[in-house]
Structure formats: structure tokens, C-alpha cells
């Protein structure tokens, strides 16, 4: 599979009263055709800003992409003029947000919102666009689509709205979908439905997906490769299997160990990551995770560790002490 | 009346047949008139020092149940026995003393802390209002002790909520609850707004405080893994009713209700190899409106096992095995 999206050394900064916040601080990652890649991290780590930067939707003037390249099918999106960029958005790269209600227009019917893109991007006639919209709604499992097209967002449940957002995202048959916490606002049984839907559609239609989430379980179920972000940087990357079985950054290891798991015996005590998430306007020198890190050595507070290969299969980590970082907990045996 | 308490130990809180209906619609702007059956006949008991987990999806009535217990909503019917007294019958002047004994920790510490008050004032206010600690000096000492108890430092007393991280704000919320020396704390989604790395800190803190102070928790949450970790017993709610109730191990190892099984199956586990092997039971449809709940068993339209009789017969919550209650005709 060829590379579809290649993000190289992307830097997005925000001007705040407290100084410049490097929300995305020299980040490189890629997505192959048809692949599902995860961007994992906690609030403020820069994962959503990364996606917005690719779409060039970072709120100016406070936010600015100050460096890097975003190669999509070989073209640098950062050098396109606004007209060309508008043709990319929705048509070639679509986006799904966490809270569908805030990204839908409450006073336009579902049908109007769905046909708009089809008419502008694909030059469909209103009749053809309406027929296609009904077809899309039925594809995402919304019953009685013809009647639903005449309804308004508030008449849809949260799960239905997210199904509709998926339908809209797929309307112009994009080759990449950026999904920013697509199921975080949903209940767990509805989350399962939506994720199964996204997975089967992306397989069937060959759409590549960037899944942005803080939920390690969701990533484990759906992603081929994983990028872990902390304080504006990618600190570990690898195949999902490799990252979960063999995390080689103390932050990734800490995240995996801090969550209680239903498949393991109940632990007497959880192992949290100590300390607080970093304040991006006042980052320490060296590794941003060092103040919370159990593996910290002197070098960590002086020199920022670059991503470097560890093990095989494209596994990289940004930790000086990666060789010492291993899962302390033995995996639970196969005979479960 | 036999209740859903098991084992020995003094019962601190007992909820009997709690019903809370809300009227909607009508009025100036019209709309369909109806009754939302938010809580529809819920019974359980919590022993002193115990943690009862209350899980379910949004709209299942778990938060309303908590609010009825806290007397933030007045129940439509039913009894709430707390330390032996029925709270639905106590006089208003007595209620204030009772309220001291039960406190709440909310999901979003930011919206439940006054942004114009310092952390010290937030914690001191209830101490002064209820006359728990008299004298400014004594109150300052108490604030310092409470801050230490929740893992904060004395200088935090001078800060404002916006100067703290989410985890620190939740610690302030906990300190404010502890200030009243409560017997029961209703924890309503106390970690779901926090980052993953911080959730474990707060859960450990809640467990430490329980061991130290003998607190009793009603732990309301939608995260099944967190609830398993912290609870002694767990009740599962669906559309205003408890559908299953058992001790933690039984409920998670041997769930009887099809809804509990579906919930457990829906939780993704952070292990790609396991996820690839695992069978996922995906429920069809969505939770029906509590304005117009289905006939018979409220779960029957989504239930993979539903039979004809499930459409007409309302299953009672019954003790299927000792200490293991389920509201399913097929259990």
C-alpha cells in the first residue's frame, strides 16, 4: 500500500497571554491507503490540533501553522491556495467530530446539510443528491431514510447524529477520514455500534482513517498503527500489537498500567502516573514527561530525546532509557 | 420487606421502591404532554463502609436516583432510609442536619466550584455555615488538614479553581465533601471528565479515604472497568429500573441479565490480540424513550434472547441465586 498522507515536521503554535504554546511541536507521521492509524493522548497533547492543521482549520490569528509539510497524495496541502484547499476538504479528506450536534446546523434539515456537499463537490443535481443522501443514510443503518431527510438534527438521537455525520463524511467518497473522538460522547453500547460501522465501511470502501482518541480500548480494537502523543510531540509509534504488548516509552507504559481492565483479575490498587499533565506554555527543558517519569535519569532533564528505532517493525520511541522500559506486569496467561 | 442487601453489617442507606417521574410538555409552548419515568421502582441497600456501584447508560436514571437520595429531587414515591430515618418524611429543619451526613462529588469539578472563591474559602464555607468548626484560626487548621488528606499542599488554599488542573480541582471537591464529616458520599461520575493518567490517582484517593475514615460510597458511573475496581457490589440500571444486582465478582464473572452481558461485551479492552479473538455482542437499536417505555420487560426490543412472554410480562427483580438479583424471566 502506498503512502496517502505524509505529515513531516508539522509545527502549530498558539499565541496566548502566557506566551507561545507549541501545541504541535515538530510532529511526523503517515497514513497508508486504506489504513487505520490512531493518534492517542490526553487532553492538550496536540492530537486534535494535528488534525485541524491537516485540514488547515486552525483558528487564526491565535493559531498558526509555522512549519512542516503535509503531503497528501504527493501534494503539500500547506502550499495550496484557499480555493484548492476547499476542494480537498470534504471531497478528499473528511472529518468527523466528537459532538455531532455542534458541527451540524440546527436550522437546516438533515437533507439540506447532506446534499450541500454532493451538489458543490460532485456537481449533482438536487434530485440526484437527495437520492444519494437517502442511500447514504440507509448505508449507516438509519431506517426510513427518505422521511429522515426532512427532519432536523434535534430530532435525531446522539447515536443517530453520529451515524449521519459518518454518512456525510463518506458522501463524496474521500480517501481519508479524520475522526476526532468520534464516540466519546456516546454510550458504550452505541459506541460499539458506531465503531463497528466505521470499521466495516472503511474496509468495504477502502477509506483510510485517522482515529484521534484518548481511549486505549478503542485503539486496541480498531487501529493498525498507533502514535502516542505527549505535550505536542509523538513519543512512541508502532503497530497496535507492538505498542500494547511491548510499550517502550514510560508514558505509554504508564497509561496502559493506570487503567483497570475487565479481562484481568482486579488489582488491589491502580498504578497511576504521578503528577499533573504539563502546562504547554511552561514546558521544562529536556523530555516533557521527565517530571512524572519513574525511569528519569539526569540526561532526561537536559536533552530532549528524539524518536529512535527500538525493536523491529517500525517501532520508535523518544526515550533515552527505552531499553529499561518493559511491562513490569506479566501478561495474563493464555488459559483464560 | 426483604431487601437487596446481603451479608452482615449495619445498613446505612436503604432505598425502597423509589419512583421519580417528571412531567414534560404542555405549558406555554405546548409540546407532547407526558411523564418521564426516570426512576421506576428502585430498591437497594448499602451497608456502612461499603461501596455500591450504580452503572448504566445515559438516561437510565442513575443520576436521578443519586439526587433523590441527596434530597436534591423529591421522589414521586418510595422510601429513603438513611441512618434509620425516612428522608422523605423528615421535616425541613431536620433535613439540614441529615444533609451534612451525606455529601456529593460531581463529575465536573470546574462547574461545581465557585470560580470567584479561593480553594480555602470553598472548603471553609460549609465549615462556617454548619458551625462545624468555630473560629477563623481553627478553620484554617482544618483546611490545611483536609488539603493534606486529599493530596494537596497548604499553598493551594490561596489558589482559584482555574489555576488548578482537573485532577487538583476534583481533589478540592473531595476535600469540600470531607469537611462535613459525612457518613455517605454519592460519587456521580467522579473521574469520567478526567484524563486517563489522573483517573487512577483519584480512584486510589477515594479508596484510601474510605479505609481511613470508614466512608460509605454510592459510586455512579458508566465505566464498567472503573466500577468493578472500586465497588463491593454493583447494580445495573436500564430505563429507570435495576436489572441486575450482585457482588462485584459474581456480576462480572457470571452476569445473568442479557443487558449486563451486552454492556460488558461492548467495553473495548486495551489489548489488540485479545480484541481480535473476542466475540462482540453488539446490541441493536437504541435505548427507548423513558416517556414511552416498552411493555413487559423494558429491554425486550433490544434483547437477543427475548421471547413472546417478554413483551407482556414485567420481570420482577428476584434473587436468582443467593445474593444475585436479576430482573429477567429467562435468568
Partner-chain contact B283 A277, CB within 8 Å? no
- Which pairing describes strands B184-188 and B216-221: parallel, antiparallel, or unpaired? parallel
From B167, B199, B225, residue closest to A261, measured CB to CB: B225
Read off the pLDDT band of B42 (50, 70, 90). very high
Distance from CA of B168 to the nearest CA of A (A): 8
- Which pairing describes strands B324-326 and A19-32: parallel, antiparallel, or unpaired? unpaired
Distance from CA of B266 to the nearest CA of A (A): 6
Task: With a cut of 70, say whether residue A307 has pLDDT above it.
Answer: yes
Residues in B whose CB is inside 8 Å of some CB of A read 57-58, 165-168, 195-201, 203-204, 207, 222, 224-226, 228-229, 248, 252, 262-275, 280, 282-283, 286-287
pLDDT, tens digit, for every residue of B168-178? 999 999 999 99
- Which pairing describes strands B241-247 and B233-238: parallel, antiparallel, or unpaired? antiparallel
Read off the pLDDT band of A230 (50, 70, 90). very high
From B57, B200, B275, residue closest to A270, measured CB to CB: B200
Instruction: Give B252's contacts in chain A (Cβ within 8 Å).
Output: 262
Task: With a cut of 70, say whether residue B8 has pLDDT above it.
Answer: no
**Other Cβ atoms within 10 Å of A171 Cβ, number:** 24
Instruction: Give A254's contacts in chain B (Cβ within 8 Å).
Output: 197
Distance from CA of B18 to the nearest CA of A (A): 24
Smallest CA-to-CA distance from B12 within B42, B48, B44 is with B48
CATH code, domain with B161: 3.40.50.300
Q: What is the mean pLDDT of residues A198-224?
A: 91
pLDDT, tens digit, for every residue of A47-65? 999 999 999 999 888 999 9
List of residues 6+ apart from A233 with CB closer than 8 A: A25, A26, A27, A46, A288, A318
Does B6 fall in a domain?
A: no
Question: What sign results for the dihedral spanned by CA atoms B286, B290, B293, B296?
Answer: positive
Distance CA B139, CA B179 (A): 10
Mean pLDDT of chain A: 90
Three cell numbers, residue A237: 509509534
Mean pLDDT of chain B: 91
Read off the pLDDT band of B296 (50, 70, 90). very high
Q: What is the mean pLDDT of residues B35-64?
A: 94
Minimum CA–CA partner of B223 in chain A: A188
Distance from CA of B71 to the nearest CA of A (A): 27
Distance from CA of B182 to the nearest CA of A (A): 24
Partner-chain contact A259 B199, CB within 8 Å? yes
Does B58 fall in a domain?
A: yes
Three cell numbers, residue A259: 487503567
Instruction: Give A193's contacts in chain B (Cβ within 8 Å).
Output: 282-283
Distance from CA of A245 to the nearest CA of B (A): 8
The number of helices, as runs of H, and strands, as runs of E, in chain B is 10, 12
Task: With a cut of 60, say whether residue A218 has pLDDT above it.
Answer: yes
* ipTM (interface pTM): 0.87
Do A133 and A114 form a contact (C-beta atoms < 8 A)?
yes
Read off the pLDDT band of A80 (50, 70, 90). very high
pLDDT, tens digit, for every residue of B103-153? 999 987 778 899 999 999 999 988 888 888 888 888 899 999 999 999 999
Place of cell 456521580: B188
From B166, B269, B283, residue closest to A262, measured CB to CB: B269
Q: What is the mean pLDDT of residues B79-104?
A: 90
What domain range is B255 assigned to? Answer: 11-326
Task: With a cut of 60, say whether residue B7 has pLDDT above it.
Answer: no
Does B331 fall in a domain?
A: no
Which of helix, strand or coil describes residue A239? Answer: strand
Does B18 fall in a domain?
A: yes
Distance CA A123, CA B99 (A): 64
Do A213 and A184 form a contact (C-beta atoms < 8 A)?
yes
Between helices B166-179 and B136-149, what is the axis angle to 10°? 130
Q: What is the mean pLDDT of residues A68-88?
A: 96
| CA B184 to centroid of chain Cα atoms | 11
Partner-chain contact A261 B57, CB within 8 Å? no
From A241, A260, A277, residue closest to B272, measured CB to CB: A241
Instruction: Give A269's contacts in chain B (Cβ within 8 Å).
Output: 204, 207
The domain limits of chain A are 241-275+285-324
Task: With a cut of 60, say whether residue A330 has pLDDT above it.
Answer: no
From B197, B207, B271, residue closest to A263, measured CB to CB: B271
* Total number of domains constituting chain B: 1
From B58, B197, B262, residue closest to A42, measured CB to CB: B197
From A190, A221, A272, residue closest to B286, measured CB to CB: A190
DSSP calls for B221-285:
ES-HHHHHHH-SEEEEEETTEEEEEEEHHHHHHS--SHHHHHHHHHSPPS-HHHHHHS---PPPS
Q: What is the mean pLDDT of residues B275-293?
A: 84
Does B4 fall in a domain?
A: no
pLDDT of residue B27: 64
Give the residue ranges of DSSP H helices in chain A: 47-54, 82-88, 100-103, 110-122, 126-139, 145-148, 158-170, 188-205, 216-222, 240-245, 250-258
Distance from CA of B293 to the nearest CA of A (A): 16
Question: What sign results for the dihedral spanned by CA atoms A125, A130, A133, A139?
Answer: negative
Amino acid at each position: 500500500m502506498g503512502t496517502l498522507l505524509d505529515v513531516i515536521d508539522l509545527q502549530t503554535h498558539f499565541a496566548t497571554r502566557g506566551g507561545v504554546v507549541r501545541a504541535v511541536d515538530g510532529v511526523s507521521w503517515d497514513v497508508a491507503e486504506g489504513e487505520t492509524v490512531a493518534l492517542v493522548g490526553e487532553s492538550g497533547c496536540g492530537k486534535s490540533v494535528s488534525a485541524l492543521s491537516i485540514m488547515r482549520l486552525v483558528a487564526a490569528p491565535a493559531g498558526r501553522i509555522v512549519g512542516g509539510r503535509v503531503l497528501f497524495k504527493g501534494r503539500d496541502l500547506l502550499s495550496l491556495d484557499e480555493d484548492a484547499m476547499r476542494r480537498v476538504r470534504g471531497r478528499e479528506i473528511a472529518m468527523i467530530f466528537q459532538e455531532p450536534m455542534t458541527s451540524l446546523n440546527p436550522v437546516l434539515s438533515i437533507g439540506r446539510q447532506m446534499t450541500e456537499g454532493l451538489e458543490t463537490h460532485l456537481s449533482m443535481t438536487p434530485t440526484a443528491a437527495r437520492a444519494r443522501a437517502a442511500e447514504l443514510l440507509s448505508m449507516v443503518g438509519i431506517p426510513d431514510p427518505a422521511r429522515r431527510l426532512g427532519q432536523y438534527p434535534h430530532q435525531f438521537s446522539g447515536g443517530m447524529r453520529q451515524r449521519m455525520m459518518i454518512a456525510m463524511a463518506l458522501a463524496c467518497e474521500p480517501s481519508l477520514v479524520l475522526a476526532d473522538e468520534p464516540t466519546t460522547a456516546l454510550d458504550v453500547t452505541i459506541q460499539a455500534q458506531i465503531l463497528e460501522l466505521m470499521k466495516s465501511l472503511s474496509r468495504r470502501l477502502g477509506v483510510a482513517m485517522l482515529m484521534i482518541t484518548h481511549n486505549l480500548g478503542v485503539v486496541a480494537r480498531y487501529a493498525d498503527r498507533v502514535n502516542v502523543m505527549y505535550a505536542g510531540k509523538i513519543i512512541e509509534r508502532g503497530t497496535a500489537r507492538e505498542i500494547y504488548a511491548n510499550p517502550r516509552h514510560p508514558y505509554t507504559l504508564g497509561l496502559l498500567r493506570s487503567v483497570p481492565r475487565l479481562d484481568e483479575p482486579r488489582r488491589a490498587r491502580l498504578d497511576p502516573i504521578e503528577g499533573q499533565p504539563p502546562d504547554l506554555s511552561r514546558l521544562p527543558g529536556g523530555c516533557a514527561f521527565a517530571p512524572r517519569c519513574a525511569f528519569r535519569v539526569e540526561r532526561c532533564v537536559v536533552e530532549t530525546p528524539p524518536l529512535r528505532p527500538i525493536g523491529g517493525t517500525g517501532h520508535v520511541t523518544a526515550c533515552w532509557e527505552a531499553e529499561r522500559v518493559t511491562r513490569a506486569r506479566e501478561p495474563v496467561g493464555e488459559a483464560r | 420487606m426483604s431487601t437487596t442487601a446481603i451479608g452482615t453489617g449495619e445498613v446505612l442507606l436503604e432505598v425502597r421502591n423509589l419512583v421519580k417521574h417528571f412531567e414534560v410538555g404542555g405549558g406555554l409552548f405546548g409540546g407532547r404532554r407526558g411523564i418521564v419515568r426516570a426512576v421506576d421502582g428502585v430498591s437497594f441497600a448499602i451497608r456502612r463502609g461499603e461501596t455500591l456501584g450504580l452503572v448504566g447508560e445515559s438516561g437510565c436514571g442513575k443520576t436521578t436516583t443519586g439526587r433523590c437520595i441527596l434530597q436534591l429531587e423529591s421522589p414521586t414515591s418510595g422510601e429513603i432510609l438513611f441512618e434509620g430515618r425516612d428522608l422523605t418524611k423528615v421535616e425541613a429543619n431536620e433535613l439540614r442536619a441529615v444533609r451534612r451526613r451525606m455529601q456529593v462529588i460531581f463529575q465536573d469539578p470546574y462547574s461545581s466550584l465557585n470560580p470567584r472563591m479561593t480553594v480555602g474559602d470553598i472548603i471553609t464555607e460549609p465549615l462556617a455555615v454548619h458551625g462545624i468548626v468555630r473560629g477563623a484560626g481553627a478553620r484554617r487548621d482544618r483546611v490545611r488538614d483536609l488539603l493534606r488528606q486529599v493530596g494537596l499542599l497548604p499553598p493551594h488554599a490561596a489558589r482559584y479553581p482555574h489555576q488548578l488542573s482537573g485532577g487538583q480541582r476534583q481533589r478540592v471537591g473531595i476535600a469540600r465533601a470531607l469537611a462535613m464529616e459525612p457518613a455517605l458520599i454519592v460519587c456521580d461520575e467522579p473521574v469520567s471528565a478526567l484524563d486517563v493518567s489522573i483517573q487512577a490517582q483519584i480512584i486510589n484517593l477515594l479508596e484510601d479515604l474510605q479505609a481511613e475514615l470508614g466512608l460509605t460510597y454510592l459510586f455512579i458511573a458508566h465505566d464498567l472497568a472503573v466500577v468493578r475496581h472500586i465497588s463491593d457490589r454493583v447494580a445495573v440500571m436500564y430505563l429507570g429500573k435495576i436489572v441486575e444486582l450482585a457482588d462485584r465478582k459474581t456480576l462480572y464473572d457470571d452476569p445473568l441479565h442479557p443487558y449486563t452481558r451486552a454492556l460488558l461485551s461492548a467495553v473495548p479492552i486495551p489489548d489488540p490480540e485479545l480484541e481480535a479473538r473476542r466475540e462482540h455482542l453488539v446490541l441493536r437499536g437504541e435505548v427507548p424513550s423513558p416517556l414511552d417505555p416498552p411493555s413487559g420487560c423494558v429491554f425486550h426490543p433490544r434483547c437477543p434472547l427475548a421471547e413472546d412472554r417478554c413483551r407482556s410480562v414485567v420481570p420482577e427483580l428476584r434473587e436468582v441465586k443467593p445474593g444475585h438479583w436479576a430482573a429477567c424471566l429467562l435468568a
